[in-house]
Structure 1
Amino acid sequence: MSYIVDFKTVSTIGLESSPVADALAGLRANEARYFKTKYDHTFTVEPAEEASEVVDWVHRILREEREIVIASRPLEATAFQVENIKMAYVFYESGLSINVMYTLDDGKRAVGFKLSDGMEVPEELAERFKFARQKSKLAGTIRGSFFVIKNEYGAL
């Protein structure tokens, strides 16, 4: 069952099992607000089990590009297109959010990592990435990092 993320009334629906559920919900709402404001896109997520194609695609990119395997359980995922950009998101029980941005016309592709306020950097990412901090009214302090995708993975 899909869930439209409300960034005005932040809810932990679908994220309750996370030890940082409130912060993860704020992070998810922050993403929803960004896409609504910039692209007039309604950010909708599904339970990870129902969005296995999205989760598998993101995990394949991580594994093949950087030999990264995320230890945490995926809770929710989504994939959509805004303008010429294909986006995929996976939200994890640990509080981690991973997004893949895949432009259709100029070949720009990247993986972004965001850490919910209060979570530790996952072991599988700690030695590989430095995380910059940003403040968010919805999510508190978000730490983020990214890497550029070098290979082609096709669009979802």
Structure 2
Amino acid sequence: MSYLVDFKNVTTTGLESSPVAEALAGLRANEARYFRNKYNTEFVVTPAVESTETVEWVRKILKEERGIGVASKPLETATLQIENIKWVFVFYESGLGINVLYPLDNPKKRAVGFKLSEGMDIPQELEKFKFARQKSKLAGTIRGSFFVIKGEY
């Protein structure tokens, strides 16, 4: 069942099985606040078991672009389209958040972003990436990295 993420009253709904559920909920709320403030758009998440097509699309991009296979279980997804930009998010049990920025009309601006919730270690499959730190009132310290997508998906 899909639901709207509330960034004012942060809850761990849907993320309870994560060992860093509070931090992951803050990370998810941080994304919700960004889309509300920048695009006046609601951030709605769906359980991963109800959005397997979305999870598979992200899995395919990671595998084909960089040979990455995420070991953690996907918990939730979110898909938004704002103008000609498709945004796809997958939140994982480990505390990892992956987003795909996929402009439909500008292949050179396509990218995959990784965000690590506070308190989680860098997953083995992402150890080759360098992570920058960002402070968030909702999520504490978020570590993030990205890569540019070269293929069509």
SS in 2 for 1:121: coil
Q: Structure 2: which amino acid aligns with 1:90?
A: V
TM superposition score normalised by structure 1: 0.96
Matching of residue 45 in structure 1 with residue 49 in structure 2: no
Q: Give 1:109 deviation, angstroms.
A: 0.5
Q: Structure 2: which amino acid aligns with 1:61?
A: I
Aligned-pair identity (%):
71
Matching of residue 31 in structure 1 with residue 31 in structure 2: yes
Matching of residue 137 in structure 1 with residue 137 in structure 2: yes
Query: Mapping of 1:1-156 within 5 angstroms?
Result: 1-107=1-107, 108-126=109-127, 128-153=128-153
Q: Aligned equivalents of 1:146 and 1:21: distance in 2?
A: 23
Q: Give 1:120 deviation, angstroms.
A: 0.2
Which 5+ residue runs of structure 2 have no aligned equivalent? none
- Aligned residue pair count: 152
TM superposition score normalised by structure 2: 0.98
Indicate the larger mover: 114-123 or 102-111: 102-111
Q: Give 1:79 deviation, angstroms.
A: 1.2
Which 5+ residue runs of structure 1 have no aligned equivalent? none
Q: Give 1:62 deviation, angstroms.
A: 0.1
RMSD value, Cα: 0.6
Q: Aligned equivalents of 1:22 and 1:111: distance in 2?
A: 24
Q: Give 1:83 deviation, angstroms.
A: 2.0
SS in 1 for 2:143: strand
